[in-house]
Amino acid sequence: MVLLRHLLDIEDSESIDKKALSNGEVYIGIFKGTLPHGKGKYIWCDGTVYKGDWEEGKMTGKGQILWSSGAKYEGDFSGGYLHGIGTLIGHDGSEYRGAWRMNARHGLGRKQYSNLDVYEGSWKEGMREGCGKYSWNNGNTYMGNWKGGKICGRGVMKWENGDLFDGFWINGLRHGSGVYRFADGGYYFGMWSMGLKDGKGTFYSAGTKHPSLRRWCSSLGCYESGRNLLSHSSSLNSEKTRVLIPNDMRSLSERMSINGIFKDSGRFSLGTVSLDENSSRCSLGSEFICREPSCMLSQTSDEGQRGVQDNCTVVYEREYMQGVLKNEKVKNTEPSRKTKQRNKFDVKVTKRKSYVDIFQGHWSYYLMLSLQLGIRYTVGKITPVPMRGARDSDFGDRARIRMYFPRKGSQFTPPHYSIDFYWKDYCPMVFRNLREMFKLDAAEYMMSICGDDGLTELPSSGKSGSIFFLSHDDRFVIKTLKKFELKTLLKMLPEYYDHVGKHENTLITKIFGVHRITLRGGKKVRFVVMGNMFCTELRIHDRYDLKGSTQGRYTDKDKVGENTTLKDLDLAYEFHMDKLLRESLFKNTFLLCRQLSLDCSFLESQQIIDYSLLLGIHFRAPEQLRAILEPPATMLNHATLATSDVKLL
């Protein structure tokens, strides 16, 4: 008994007992009734040992567990879970030190893998998520955002040879705007799509003057090469990180439980648990990007960057389509004397104002805030109303929600950073039902439009002067309307509602809400929220507005830009489809044509003739480039991005 007190560091006043179960497992320590409570030691029949604090039969407090496989955890426990701050050393030599939540890494932590790769940053339910830095043993590093264990969002990848990419990623592949800096000093500013250059960009050879990187990074929300992306994820203080663990997240990992303690079965066991079962496989894109010592795509999509160093005044404007160079022209970087003089004196440039340019130079920002406030208020007010069918009164002039939003706030509205405005929501019950028909959740709708990410203003070359906004997830387009357009839309709304209800596969634009903002001076801005049919991870290379006519249906080639919507006579492609896709398309052609006919009949009944079919085309990458982006399965056995963890027994 004296020896047991010494082993467990238990005070003389506490009662120590030893209980052997029928399955051969043993508990030595303090009891509260029939349950372990206080200091104690439990030995499983397979040799696994826990030593530490107990609370009413569950491991709670500080403790240490040593598995028979050789894995070891020391730190906080709660209710039988690894929960709090602790260190896990795997049987393969990997080590994680940081925050835990219900057996999963959750919060800030640092993990060194068995191959000496290191990840330091944020975790969520056992996977890398948030800001983090990953260092490969070959010298490559990535610092930036992660999601679901994959590189996703804004981040900086630096290769061992000195090449660097600063920009946006998705699923481990470069996707969106970015800048690639070559080790020799050359730069490429452009767009990427699923790992391949896609769209227009500019290449500056080594020694050529290029745009300020600080200014470019600031436009994307970062100061210099991702310097502020990970300011909080350096060396961790285990006690300080405790407060950063969210309390409302539910772990997806298997619960580590003690079953049947001192019950009829006499069984007292610790279940087998994998602390990283959801991240045992990493994205192929991540493996590819991290394996390439100097960017494997440099042979195909970055070709020629080192072949222009003899003439450092040359700048190339390039256009790529899925990694293939489509157009290239040399840009003269030395302006003429006349140009310099003209730029010197023509400082002020007159810009034609839109009819909604009413916010004293900051209209787009204030308009965005007002839209978000109004939509959040409207959806929050109408959603709790019991679901019912639309009535005639729901389409009438009185079917409106009106509210005043003073900047300082009121009894019904919160304070905000926009300007004072009046809000009007048209036919709220009708659009609430339409959102239900389109299977759109109210919470998703508000998060998409009213979330912290805000809205993006889109350039518009239309004659109407309408302003377009795009939600951060590309799901919704918001367009300003003129008064007669609003009246036309509300007039046809009952028939539109019936048509959508009868034909769920309609190709007519989905409308989710119609609203109006009025300033105290009386000026009004009306707008409609629509679905974005081009909401896809694929880049839409060409857009066509097809009317089925040849009269004037072509675009002046000199006016064609990257985002120009083309017309009927511009569509000069022969489409080659694989056999399965072709058969599937032919099988559904009848249904598609029938739906198009029904939609056209509806528009005709509303005396609308100015309608067309919007077509988007995405060009697939050539086979040789896709083969590079999709490494064979054998590469998984030698994956540079380590994700597998010790399975605890």
pLDDT at 619: 80
Q: Which residue in the block uniquely carries the two structure tokens 């309609």?
A: 506
**Percentage of the residues of the chain whose pLDDT score is greater than 70:** 71
- DSSP state, 503? -
Better pLDDT: 303 or 419? 419
By residue count, the chain amounts to 649
Confidence grade of residue 215 (pLDDT, cut at 50, 70, 90): low
Q: What is the enclosing helix (H) or strand (E) of 622?
A: none
Q: Judge whether residue 52 has pLDDT over 70.
A: yes
Q: What share of the chain is helix, strand, coil (3-state, %, to 5)?
A: 25, 35, 45
Rounded to 5 degrees, φ, ψ at 487 are -65, -40
- How far apart are the C-alpha atoms of 48 and 70, rounded to whole Å? 9
pLDDT at 209: 76
Better pLDDT: 454 or 518? 518
**How confident is the model over 422-428, as a mean pLDDT?**
94
**How confident is the model over 162-169, as a mean pLDDT?**
92
Q: Determine the residue type at 324.
A: V
Q: What angle do CA 458, 461, 467 make, to 5 degrees?
A: 45
Q: Judge whether residue 512 has pLDDT over 60.
A: yes
pLDDT at 276: 37
Listed in sequence order, the DSSP H helices in 321-386 are: 337-345, 363-382
User: And the tokens for 455?
Assistant: 């809205």
**How confident is the model over 157-173, as a mean pLDDT?**
92
0.75 surpassed by pTM: no
pLDDT at 417: 83
Burial (CB count within 10 angstroms: exposed 0-12, middle 13-18, buried 19+), residue 558: exposed
pLDDT at 332: 62
- How far apart are the C-alpha atoms of 54 and 39, rounded to whole Å? 6
pLDDT at 224: 35
**Percentage of the residues of the chain whose pLDDT score is greater than 90:** 32
Work out whether strand 196-197 and strand 273-274 pair parallel, antiparallel, or are unpaired. Answer: unpaired
In sequence order, what are the residues at sequence separation of 6 or more whose Cβ sits closer than 8 angstroms to the Cβ of residue 207? Answer: 185, 309, 312
pLDDT at 346: 46
Highest mean pLDDT among 159-168, 235-244, 327-336, 584-593 belongs to: 159-168
If we measure between CA atoms, which residue out of 440, 608, 595 comes closest to residue 502? 595
- How far apart are the C-alpha atoms of 28 and 469, rounded to whole Å? 66
Average pLDDT of the residues of the chain: 75
Contact 35, 57 (CB under 8 A): yes
Q: Determine the residue type at 469.
A: F
Better pLDDT: 575 or 390? 390
User: And the tokens for 214?
Assistant: 């600080």
Listed in sequence order, the DSSP H helices in 478-576 are: 483-502
**DSSP string computed for 434-466:** HHHHTT--HHHHHHHHHSTT-EEEEP---TT--
pLDDT at 331: 76
In angstroms, the Cα distances linking 182 to 92, 307, 613 are 37, 13, 43
- How far apart are the C-alpha atoms of 202 and 218, rounded to whole Å? 19
Burial (CB count within 10 angstroms: exposed 0-12, middle 13-18, buried 19+), residue 7: middle
pLDDT at 89: 94
pLDDT at 262: 33
Q: What distance, in Å, lies between the first and last C-alpha atoms of the chain?
A: 30
In sequence order, what are the residues at sequence separation of 6 or more whose Cβ sits closer than 8 angstroms to the Cβ of residue 403? Answer: 374, 377, 412, 413, 422, 423
Rounded to 5 degrees, φ, ψ at 541 are -80, -40
pLDDT at 520: 74
Q: Judge whether residue 236 has pLDDT over 80.
A: no
Q: Judge whether residue 302 has pLDDT over 60.
A: no
Q: Judge whether residue 292 has pLDDT over 70.
A: no
In angstroms, the Cα distances linking 140 to 162, 186, 214, 638 are 9, 19, 23, 16
DSSP tally for the chain: helices H, then strands E: 10, 34
Q: Judge whether residue 117 has pLDDT over 90.
A: yes
User: And the tokens for 49?
Assistant: 């040992």
**How confident is the model over 170-186, as a mean pLDDT?**
90
Confidence grade of residue 533 (pLDDT, cut at 50, 70, 90): confident
Work out whether strand 104-112 and strand 613-617 pair parallel, antiparallel, or are unpaired. Answer: unpaired
User: And the tokens for 308?
Assistant: 């222009």
Contact 123, 99 (CB under 8 A): yes
- How far apart are the C-alpha atoms of 5 and 14, rounded to whole Å? 9
**How confident is the model over 210-218, as a mean pLDDT?**
61
Confidence grade of residue 618 (pLDDT, cut at 50, 70, 90): confident
Q: Determine the residue type at 577.
A: M
User: And the tokens for 60?
Assistant: 């709670």
User: And the tokens for 404?
Assistant: 């005043």
- How far apart are the C-alpha atoms of 320 and 344, rounded to whole Å? 35
Q: What angle do CA 242, 63, 16 make, to 5 degrees?
A: 140
- DSSP state, 570? G
- How far apart are the C-alpha atoms of 609 and 304, rounded to whole Å? 50
Better pLDDT: 571 or 262? 571
Confidence grade of residue 553 (pLDDT, cut at 50, 70, 90): confident
Q: Judge whether residue 258 has pLDDT over 90.
A: no
Q: Which residue in the block uniquely carries the two structure tokens 């160079």?
A: 325
Q: Judge whether residue 392 has pLDDT over 60.
A: yes
Query: pLDDT tens for residues 187-209?
Result: 999 989 888 888 888 898 887 77
Contact 285, 195 (CB under 8 A): yes
pLDDT at 404: 92
